[in-house]
Amino acid sequence: MSKIADVGHAIAVLQWDKEVYLPKGSATFRSQQIATLSSIAHELFTSDSFSDLLNKLSVDDSLSEEQSRNIALTKRDHEKSTKFTTEFIVKKSQTISTCFQAWLSAREKNDHTIYLAPLTELMKIVREEAEILGYEGHPYDALLDYYEPMLTVEKLEALFTPLKQELKTILHKISSRPQVDNSILHKHYDKDEQWKFGIEVLRNMGYNFDMGRQDIAAHPFTTSFSSQDVRVTTRIDENDLGNMTWSCIHEGGHALYEQGLDPKNYGLPLGKYISLGIHESQSRLWENNVGRSKTYWSHMLITLKEHFPNQLTDVSVQDFYKAINKVAPNLIRTEADELHYHLHVIIRYEIEKELMEKTLEIKDIKSAWNTKYKDYLGVDVPDDNNGFLQDVHWAHGSIGYFPTYSIGSLYAAQFFDEASKEITDLDKQIGNGDNAPLLEWLREHIHKHGQFYDAEDLCKKITGEGLNAKYFIDYVSDKYAEIYGF
Amino acid sequence: MSKIADVGHAIAVLQWDKEVYLPKGSATFRSQQIATLSSIAHELFTSDSFSDLLNKLSVDDSLSEEQSRNIALTKRDHEKSTKFTTEFIVKKSQTISTCFQAWLSAREKNDHTIYLAPLTELMKIVREEAEILGYEGHPYDALLDYYEPMLTVEKLEALFTPLKQELKTILHKISSRPQVDNSILHKHYDKDEQWKFGIEVLRNMGYNFDMGRQDIAAHPFTTSFSSQDVRVTTRIDENDLGNMTWSCIHEGGHALYEQGLDPKNYGLPLGKYISLGIHESQSRLWENNVGRSKTYWSHMLITLKEHFPNQLTDVSVQDFYKAINKVAPNLIRTEADELHYHLHVIIRYEIEKELMEKTLEIKDIKSAWNTKYKDYLGVDVPDDNNGFLQDVHWAHGSIGYFPTYSIGSLYAAQFFDEASKEITDLDKQIGNGDNAPLLEWLREHIHKHGQFYDAEDLCKKITGEGLNAKYFIDYVSDKYAEIYGF
């Protein structure tokens, strides 16, 4: 496992370098090198000797509880990856390549028709994949399981139905109130000063720069080469302070999770994050529950003003708090506010589910998309780059990924609610700029366990119940009622 | 071969990152990841299936001349690497680890005795290695062959004996003349401006930034992840303009060689540099024959003055030229001038040769070193950090590496002499800041061939004779006679 992890982390280094430092003419060999290492990792994981070892260890009753869990989870992944023939893997990978190129062309030419045939082909393979993997309820369940083990359509419906309804209600209330002005975020903010502030934000959260670093990337991401080398990236827009700030806090949240995994479990399930939803819960908790709260900024606005005294003279905490929580419908998921965000996700979820059910065909995606945007968000989609071509996920064959973004926010709200009950004066501590008690709580209850618990079990262990959308709904209802005065 | 190269280049990326961007607390897993990839590359190269393929191809008479050469050279390396048992490789690698740590401690405590026992142990293994490899003449030949295929003690003696003699003669003449003042190089030179100047230096040489980049490292080096991704590093000392400038030109020379290799031969001997000596010939040619010439600076001093107008007011090309060619004995090889440099190398060569002959024991290295420094350079060694502990090579088990540094300078002088004859007005072109004709000549005669020719054959093909120290001796005799007026 350690050897396989070494190869996997080498791939991560090559990918990180590709995103942050690769010269523009150097991509061809880099892609080849990543492909070679990927095939080596796959060979190691699916080799006969590895299978034999797993089979032997899975009936070994001298193992500790931790060891048994490591073996059981590895066996689960191993069985999944041995279900596919090499031909299937090659076919899928080639179709993804073609589809991704078609997506790039379609975006470049703003012509979605280029993309339809390759995506139809890829969708066929993805459906085949679901059949090979197997499922009990809905074919979509087989795919959801990749990103969020044990998540099903049934569970998602129970979460998304009230969420969608309540969001509509809150948004309706907001729309009837005076709107928020966030122009202070769009003054000119010097790049170098923003960078320095971002570093302070990360330090203040507890990110360890002795075992990590920040660099610039076009699309911010976090990557880990071991829990002792977890790197974040950010981007800076001189006319949008929010872009860098919340990408920094978001990636910082991901990074704190990775830095909190136990290095002695390197390469093992117990040294790895549970699921994308739990990972996202950590980034969202810091980004929103902490990073868009009034208490957080009652401290951090002082620091921010040291970097930008001219731009922020006379701006009160309350003004700033309102500006950073402005709610307005828009076309692009990654630029959405805390409320509309989930409508963007639900639209994608509904389309994916119907594609898997074959009640929707690829050629009808565009109209389904545009209709739902008008219906849920009230916006007209002017062109496909601002419509269904905006995300890369489908072109990568990643069906079932989007829901984890919302799942993350729901877990975040539920965890933060519990943390607020358990940690004495959490609000006051954050207001004093001291995030250590919160980080310690997350480390103790979530990070250090790796995959020892499933997501649902972990949630029950921490909060006394499974994932429940109620916490998120309560959080946003209270918050936006105060901001918009309804 | 392509697959093995992919793994090898992934290792190079991990090492590059380790030198330039690795957080200080992240070294442990990184070393493990590099070790894992190294063992995978070794397994691939020494596997039975690979051996079978090589054997089959080496008797295939349908191959082209290029293909046969690729097979023959691969077979040579393959036979070398299969001579060692896994036990031997593990033992050597562990001993190197111990010895390297002892070297670090010895340097830290300035106590060479810590280092002696591990180095004695490592030396035993290196001698054993030479026996396993086999040799015709001197046991040292087996090791030289690693770095400079087909180089022998016999050939080195024929090169170093006149070189040593002539260097002593020239240095004696210089010592009787008025000395050069190079204090203009030690004014304060702003780091950012030096960085910008370094980038211009590289561009002016013809280094392709679309397929490469420069970063900062403690010990400047060049690395290649394919001929389409060749990276250089430099360091900047605000009180020593020379440090950055010639490290930049030196690494740029290495990088131009790597960028000039044919990408269609990726992973094959014909897509790889010939030897360390030939590699060093490219860096030295640019660093010294070009980069310390009056013609080069007749153009580049104008550019340099744009960056540092205050520091260099009224400095003429002749003043600058003399300053950058100041000759003075010193203790540290990497800081030596163009003449003393080779005395540093010859001292190491003589000690290594005697160690291999067992006419010198490790415990007597220190006194042999100090005696030779007094004798050849006229300097007293005040402590071992400035003495035989200065280089890492021996602690890494690299015996036979040092001579390639001098071999590089000798090849450089011989190649540059030929280029000057073949290229019309080379001197004038360099004086005009146009290095393209020189680079094109190097590409055509050296870079593009990879290992199609052996070093010696390449030299004969280009210059009509094998490596001859005469060209270097003539070059430095003329140059320093003019500078010092003898």
Contacts of B149 (CB under 8 A, 6+ apart): B274, B275, B454, B455
A447 and A385 housed in the same domain: yes
Domain span at residue B86 reads: 2-138
Half-sphere exposure of A351 (CA within 13 A, CB side): 25
User: Contact A145/A418 with Cβ under 8 angstroms?
Assistant: no
The nearest alpha carbon in chain A to B228 belongs to A26
pTM more than 0.90? yes
B128/B235 same-domain check: no
In a structure prediction context, what are the per-residue pLDDT tens digits for chain B, which is 486 residues long? 999 999 999 999 999 999 999 999 999 999 999 999 999 999 999 999 999 999 999 999 999 999 999 999 999 999 998 899 889 998 999 999 999 999 999 999 999 999 999 999 999 999 999 999 999 999 999 999 999 999 999 999 999 999 999 999 999 999 999 999 999 999 999 999 999 999 999 999 999 999 999 999 999 999 999 999 999 999 999 999 999 999 999 999 999 999 999 999 999 999 999 999 999 999 999 999 999 999 999 999 999 999 999 999 999 999 999 999 999 999 999 999 999 999 999 999 999 999 999 999 999 999 999 999 999 999 999 999 999 999 999 999 999 999 999 999 999 999 999 999 999 999 999 999 999 999 999 999 999 999 999 999 999 999 999 999 999 999 999 999 999 999
Q: CB-based contact (8 Å) between A213 and chain B?
A: yes
Q: Which residues of B touch A213 (CB under 8 A)?
A: 21, 23
B104 lies in the same domain as B253:
no
Instruction: Say whether A224 sits in a helix, a strand or coil.
Output: strand
Q: Please state, in angstroms and rounded to a whole number, the distance separating the CA atoms of residues B83 and B410.
A: 33
Given a contact cutoff of 8 angstroms between Cβ atoms, the answer to whether B118 and B361 are in contact is no
Please indicate, yes or no, whether residues B134 and B145 belong to a single structural domain of this protein: no
Span A385-395, average pLDDT: 96
In a shared domain, residues B155 and B8: no
Tokens of A102: 């078609």
For residue B32, the number of C-alpha atoms closer than 13 Å in the C-beta half-sphere is: 19
**Residue of A36, A215, A216 to mutate when probing chain B, most B C-beta within 10 A:** A36
User: B139: Cβ–Cβ under 8 A, 6 or more apart, which residues?
Assistant: B127, B130, B131, B356, B357
Please list every residue in chain B whose beta carbon sits closer than 8 Å to the beta carbon of residue A233.
none
Tell me the ipTM for this assembly. Answer: 0.93
Mean pLDDT value across residues A410-432 = 98
Closest to A435 measured CA to CA, from A203, A255, A243: A203
Q: Report the residue of chain B nearest A1, measured CA to CA.
A: B36
pLDDT of residue A156: 98
Q: Find the helix or strand (DSSP H, E) in which A216 lies.
A: strand A212-216
Q: Do B26 and A263 touch (CB under 8 A)?
A: no
DSSP-derived letter for residue B179 is P
pLDDT band, very low/low/confident/very high, at A90 (cuts 50, 70, 90): confident
Q: Which of A4, A11, A13, A268 to mutate to test the interface with B (most CBs of B within 10 A)?
A: A13
Q: Which of A138, A167, A201 is the last residue of a domain?
A: A138
The verdict on a CB contact (< 8 Å) between B208 and A25 is yes
Instruction: Work out the mean pLDDT of chain A and round it to a whole number.
Output: 96
A63's enclosing H/E stretch is none
Which pLDDT belongs to residue A37? 95
Main-chain phi, psi angles of A224, to 5 degrees:
-130, 135
Q: Are strands A230-234 and B230-234 parallel, antiparallel or unpaired?
A: unpaired
- pLDDT value, residue A186: 97
CA dist., res. B273 & res. B253, Å (int): 13
Do A13 and B17 touch, CB atoms closer than 8 A? yes
**Which residues fall within 8 angstroms of residue B90, CB to CB, at 6 or more apart?**
none
**Contact status, residue A6 vs residue B40, Cβ threshold 8 Å:** no
Q: Is A10 on the interface with B (CB under 8 A)?
A: yes
- Name the DSSP letter for residue B220: -
Of B17, B32, B209, the CB nearest to A13: B17
Convert the pLDDT of each residue in A97-115 to its tens digit. 999 999 999 999 999 999 9
pLDDT at site B90: 87
Contacts of residue B48, defined as CB under 8 A and 6 or more positions apart, other chains included, come to none
Cα pseudo-dihedral B85, B90, B93, B98, rounded to 10: -140
Same domain, B191 and B62: no
Give the separation between CA B202 and CA B198, rounded to whole angstroms. 6
Domain boundary among B82, B106, B138: B138
B278 and B147 both lie in a single domain:
yes
Average pLDDT over every residue of A4-33: 95
Q: What is the domain count for chain A?
A: 2
Both B119 and B148 in one domain: the answer is: no
Cβ of B26 within 8 Å of Cβ of A2? The answer is no
Catalytic residue check, B361: no
How far the first Cα of chain A sits from its last, in Å, is 55
Co-location of A83 and A206 in the same domain: no
- Shared domain for A145 and A290, answered yes or no, is yes
* Catalytic residue selected from B148, B166, B251, B258: B251
Task: Quick: pLDDT tens for A115-173.
Answer: 999 999 999 999 999 999 999 999 999 999 999 999 999 999 999 999 999 999 999 99
Region A236-265 average pLDDT: 98
Tell me the CB-side half-sphere exposure of residue B200, using CA atoms within 13 A: 16
Both tokens of residue A465?
A: 């119940």
Q: Which residues of A touch B216 (CB under 8 A)?
A: none
Residue type, A94: Q
Q: Which residues of B touch A225 (CB under 8 A)?
A: 26, 29-30, 33
Between CA A140 and CA A151 the distance in angstroms is 10
Residue of A nearest to B263 (CA): A29
Percent of chain A whose predicted confidence (pLDDT) is above 90: 98
**What is the token pair recorded at A289?**
């529950």
* CB proximity under 8 Å: B 248-287 to A: 263, 266
Q: Please list every residue in chain B whose beta carbon sits closer than 8 Å to the beta carbon of residue A199.
A: none
Q: Both A287 and A300 in a single domain?
A: yes
Boundary-marking domain end, from A119, A138, A157? A138
Both B369 and B470 in one domain: the answer is: yes
CA distance linking residue B278 with residue A153, whole number of Å: 64
CATH of the domain at A477: 1.10.1370.30
Q: Convert the pLDDT of each residue in A160-187 to its tens digit.
A: 999 999 999 999 999 999 999 999 999 9
Hey, is the C-beta of A7 within 8 angstroms of any chain B C-beta? Answer: yes
Q: Which residues of A touch B36 (CB under 8 A)?
A: 2-3, 6-7, 10
